[in-house]
Structure formats: C-alpha cells, structure tokens
Structure 1
Amino acid sequence: MKQNIYDNPVFFREYISLRESGVTYNDFVEQPAIKSAISTLKNKTILDLGCGTGQFAKYCIENGASKVIGVDISRNMIEQAKKENGDKKIEYICSPIEDLELHNQKFDLIISSLAVHYIEDYTKLIVKVRSLLHENGEFIFSTEHPIVTARNEENNWMKDSNGEKLHWALDNYQEEGKREHNWYVDGVIVYHRTISTLINTLIDNGFILEKIIEPQSIPSGLEKMPKLVNERRRPSFIVIKSRMLR
C-alpha cells in the first residue's frame, strides 16, 4: 500500500505550519542544493515528482520554464498548490508517483524533492523516469541521506550526560528496506537504500552521473537555525544529478 501521510489532518497541519515559517531544513539546506544542480530552466518542460504545495513548480515558471506538471499523492497538497501556486503553465495531478501514466509526453527535466525515500520500488521508479525523459534529459532528485535512514533506531545522536552531541550512530547500513519513524504522527514510513544502490540503479538504466551534493546550510540558515551547524558533522540529505543518454 502506498503511503499518503500528507492527507493525515494532524500531519498536514503541522507540516504546513512548519513550511510557512520559512525556517526549515528545506529552505536552508535541501532547496538551495537542488536548485544549484539545475543547468537551466529556460524554455524547459519539467515534471515535478512529489510536488507538494507547488512552490518549486512556481519557481520553475518564474525562471523561464515553458511548462510544469506537478504530481503528488496528497489531495491536500494538490489543492493547496492550485490555490497558492497556480499558473496556466502548471498542471497538477493527484496521483501516486508509482501509478503515474503520461502517454506521449516527455520532459527535459524531471525533478523530485525529498520524495524518493517514500517509494518502495526504486528500480521501477528509475525505469519510469527514463521512459519520460527526452534524450539528454536531466533527472535531479534529493532524498534523505542513507546515513540518516540506515539505523533502525530513531535517536541517532549519541549524547553525554549534559545532553551535548558526541557523535552520530551508524548501523544497519547494508540492511536496505523499510524504516518506520515518528514525525508529527507515528508510522511514517521511509525506505533505506545504500549510496551504491542509489547510484548503480541509475547507471544500470542508462543514466550518467553529473553531480552528487551532500549539502550544508547556506549562511543565512546558520544565523536563523544555529543547529544546522550539525550538517557539517553528518548530512541530512543527498542530491543526485544524472542525465539520460540513449
């Protein structure tokens, strides 16, 4: 069964409140990194997998994209996107990424921001992405870093008696599969994969790697969220840029 945690009313309320604050890991770490990997948006057709409330889709149009299709499993997210980030050049589709069917359509750039770790069958996802890209098209995605998802336990920072962080615990790294966490609600499921699986699955399906980013915070983030200094000790995210060659 595909998880749709964003339509849980408690989760959705807390998540939207967090994103509207503008003081998040997304704002200062993940989004600057994924945007830095984009070659150009000018006159490009974009597929945004896991588009959320449409902020990135709107960013693409504002920076010259000719068309964006945003896809998200959450009806709450899609309704919010249409209301807050609508544009005649953006089409929103409410569908699980795994079930998406876009006949006779191909894109210059497929992008996915922090959605891949919710997908159980990564290989099937990459095959789908390949089928939807133009020749020489780019696939850029961010996901939770494997050193974050690896351990079966949630409390990974080891602390001293004063509560100061000593080090990050890494375990169960080669044991790929489901991990269950608490994030506003119980039972949030993500899938752990090794870095080699993330990369080799792309290579096996005809992609070439162009960039890998393990981002730290931008300077303004360190001022507003001092705890982001810990990204220097262990990254929360990994961003992978690849290109399809036929």
Structure 2
Amino acid sequence: MEKKLKSNYDKLAEHYAKDVDTKAFNAYYERPAMINAIGKVNDLRVLDAGCGAGYYTEWLINNGAKEVVAIDFSEKMVESTKKRINEKAEVYVANLNEKLSFKDNYFDLIISSLTLHYVKNLDFTLKELSRILKPKGKLIFSIHHPIMTYLYFSLENYFEEILLEDVINKIPVYFYHRSFNKISNSLYNNNFLIERIIEPKPIGKFKEQDERNYKKLNKKPHFIIFKTIKYNK
C-alpha cells in the first residue's frame, strides 16, 4: 500500500505544483489557519515534514527561519519543492514511516501540513518527531478532521482505526481515519501537550472560487490543526 501511495503521489506532483498556491481547500481554508498557528519563525530551525510541492518550505524561508529542512516520501514532490525554492533549503526524500536521519533535539519547530493521516503507525511517527524536536519545541500539524472522515465515509465504528480510499484528480490516495482519542493519546504518549486545537473556516476568497463548498465548510469541519509543545515527563 505504501508503494502504491508513493507512486500515486508521484503522479500527482505536477498537479500539486500547479495548483498549490490557488486551490481553495489549501490556499483559502487550511493555509490561513495553519500560518496563524505557526506564527513567527525568525531564527528557528524548522522541519517541513511532508513538504509536498513546497509552499510552506518557501514560506518558512521567506519569513526568516534560520534553517529549513524539507522532506517528502515522493521523489516528484521533492523535485517540485527543490525547483520552487532554488536550493535555499535542504530538501530530500524521507519516509515518516521510518526512522529519520536527524540528530536528537535538533529542531525548534516541526510543521506538517495534511500529511500525518497518511502514516501507518502514528505512535512511531510521533516518537520520531519528538526525538528530533528540542524540549519545549513545537509540532504544528493539520490532518483530516475525524468527524469529517466518520461522516463522509459513513463509517460504522468511529473508534476503529481504518484505512480509507479517496480520489484526487482521478488518482486514488489512501489515508487513515483515527479518533480524537487515538490522536490525543498518541501525542501524550510521545511527550506532546496540546496547546491549541483549531477547526478552521474558509476565508472570503474561498467563496469566490467555490461557493457551494464555502457554505458547507462553514457548517461542517473538513480539516483540523493541532498546535503542540514537547515536554519532558
């Protein structure tokens, strides 16, 4: 399944690179709330975990981060990010389902946009992210809202962790539904405390592009953002 997902995201890379700045669900829904949650990044060492086509990587560079490292498991996505930032950051292929090559306590901040619902073992991935993050460092990530996946896919059991299939640009992609309980327990067990939970609403520009979904997103959540801090037990 992981190989299939990687292959399909390689196929989607060109589509993502073309639409990343203007696609309504990203540009006018997830991104404004995510950037607000991230705040200032001046003089921080930051990991973009699941960089996709490189929007956040470029944003981190342009907003004064001291060091930016970006990773993605799709070679084509990495190529897109490298092209976008013109070698202003280190970008390479890495799999969040596997042990990462970074030193312990290295990063001040880790961001992950719409990526962690793809990882097979959330506890393992969070353990690795906790390991490479400094004490009191922040992990800020967005994922599919558990309520959305439960309702949209008409799941029989909300509490069951289950692999689901979706379609992006006619290409199937696979992600995991996890309950709030599973997510919060995984965070706590890996030394993360939740500072904020953000259920974003679309900004006005979304309505100009897609009024039907604009109305839906003002009534039902689609994404959710967790702002967390690493603590020492």
Q: TM-score, normalised by structure 2?
A: 0.90
Q: Deviations over 1:45-91 (max 9, x none)?
A: 00111001211111111111001110001111111111122343x10
Classify the secondary structure of the residue corresponding to 1:112: strand
Q: Which runs of 5+ in 2 are unaligned?
A: none
In the alignment, what sits opposite 2:158? 173
**Cα shift at 1:100:** 4.7
Q: TM-score, normalised by structure 1?
A: 0.85
- Separation in 1, partners of 2:65, 2:85: 15
8 Å Cα contact 1:211/1:242 also seen in 2: yes
**Cα shift at 1:205:** 1.9
Q: Give 1:42-57 correspondences, 5 Å limit.
A: 42-57=42-57
8 Å Cα contact 1:58/1:86 also seen in 2: no
In the alignment, what sits opposite 1:96? 95
- Aligned counterpart in structure 2 of residue 235 of structure 1, from 221, 225, 228: 221
Amino acid at match of 1:214: E
8 Å Cα contact 1:207/1:243 also seen in 2: yes
- Separation in 1, partners of 2:18, 2:39: 32
- Separation in 1, partners of 2:103, 2:175: 31
Q: Deviations over 1:149-182 (max 9, x none)?
A: 225x75xxxxxxxxxxxxxx67531221211222
In the alignment, what sits opposite 1:159? none
Larger relative helix fraction:
2
- Correspondence 1:223 to 2:208: yes
- Aligned counterpart in structure 1 of residue 9 of structure 2, from 6, 10, 17: 6
**CA separation of 1:113 and 1:84: change in aligned 2, threshold 3 A:** same
Amino acid at match of 2:93: C
RMSD: 1.9
**Cα shift at 1:186:** 5.0
Q: Give 1:151-230 correspondences, 5 Å limit.
A: 154=153, 171-226=156-211, 227-230=213-216
- Separation in 2, partners of 1:231, 1:107: 34
Q: Which runs of 5+ in 1 are unaligned?
A: 155-168
Which portions of structure 1, spanning 4 or more consecutive aligned residues, are displaced by more than 4 angstroms? none
Larger radius of gyration: 1
**Cα shift at 1:94:** 0.9
**Cα shift at 1:231:** 0.8
8 Å Cα contact 1:58/1:87 also seen in 2: no
Q: Deviations over 1:88-138 (max 9, x none)?
A: 3x1001122222522425100011000011111001011011101001000
- Separation in 2, partners of 1:136, 1:107: 10
- Separation in 2, partners of 1:103, 1:35: 25
- Separation in 2, partners of 1:186, 1:74: 15
Classify the secondary structure of the residue corresponding to 2:38: coil
- Separation in 2, partners of 1:87, 1:183: 29
**Cα shift at 1:223:** 2.8
Classify the secondary structure of the residue corresponding to 1:27: helix
